[in-house]
Amino acid sequence: MNFNWNPKDFQNVVRIVMGPECVLRRYMVSVIRQSGSLSCPAPKWDSNGCYRVSLVKDELKIQKLTSDEKWENANITPPTNFNRKKQQKFRILDSQKLLSSDMKNAGGLFGFSLIYLDIDDFKLCNTKFTERVVDKTILPQFQRLIESSVSGNGYAYAEGGDEVIILLPNISIRTAIAFAEELRELIENKEFYINEQIIKLTISIGIAASEDIKKYCRYS
């Protein structure tokens, strides 16, 4: 039997891996045992993600490459916000055009908080490695880390490649400060890669609470 692995889309892979036992699935298992994992298309809600089919304890599993460069079992269920408009360039973080409407719906007992951050000395990084290389390596890694950190807590919007706005609904300024500090430490301890070279990043952060934002909008 010739094994031609060329799935049309992610759902096609899901149907094969999670479907009933058949000759095709048994042959997939034997191929993976001999040759290693099989790459597969990413789902629509994570078009820039890297996915594969592997054997985990003799069971076929769809896995995703995390921001820590580790493979973990993928979440097959689409996130509730996967239809949100993404920034055009990287299609990882939300488009900044969504921020205004999201702020209007971000009420709650604690109001909301905004975090603005950017990478320190980012121009030096572009000069050293070229913008083209940085756009293909560091920035997607950086944005995926932000996306993973904010998931379940709020929304992250790409203002530029290295500039990000985070909206935290129903989060007080005190909690936002703690979140921002955790995020700062996470990024400082993370190893980013350009080819095999390790790159370390630091960020600068600004935080505002909903009451401060409303006052600014009222008097500006």
Question: How many structural domains is the chain composed of?
Answer: 2
Query: Of 41, 73, 105, which closes a domain?
Result: 73
Task: Give me 198's structure tokens.
Answer: 């390790």
207 and 124, same structural domain?
yes
Do both 101 and 69 map to the same domain? no
* Spatial distance between the Cα atoms of 132 and 112, rounded to a whole number of angstroms: 36
**Cα Rg, the chain, nearest whole Å:** 21
Is a pLDDT exceeding 90 seen at residue 178? Answer: yes
Considering the domain architecture, whether residues 50 and 125 belong to the same structural domain is answered as no
Give the single-character DSSP code of 116.
E
- Look up residue 171 and give its two tokens: 């989060």
Count of other CB atoms within 10 angstroms of residue 34: 7
**202 and 129 in a common domain:** yes
* pLDDT, tens digit (0-9, with 9 covering 90-100), for 104-116: 888 778 889 999 9
Find out whether 112 and 175 touch, Cβ atoms under 8 Å. no
**Cβ-based burial of 206 (10 A; exposed 0-12, middle 13-18, buried ≥19):** exposed
Residue 120 domain-assigned (yes or no): yes
Domain identity same for 135 and 185 = yes
Domain housing 53: 10-73
Question: pLDDT band at residue 77, thresholds of 50, 70 and 90?
Answer: confident
Mean pLDDT of 41-56: 87
Q: What is the pLDDT of residues 13-35, one digit of tens each?
A: 888 888 777 677 788 888 899 88
Confidence of residue 181 (pLDDT cuts 50, 70, 90): very high
- Give the HSE-up count for residue 189: Cα atoms under 13 Å, Cβ half-sphere: 7
Per-residue confidence at 219, pLDDT binned at 50, 70, 90?
very low
The pLDDT of 161-183, averaged and rounded, is 93
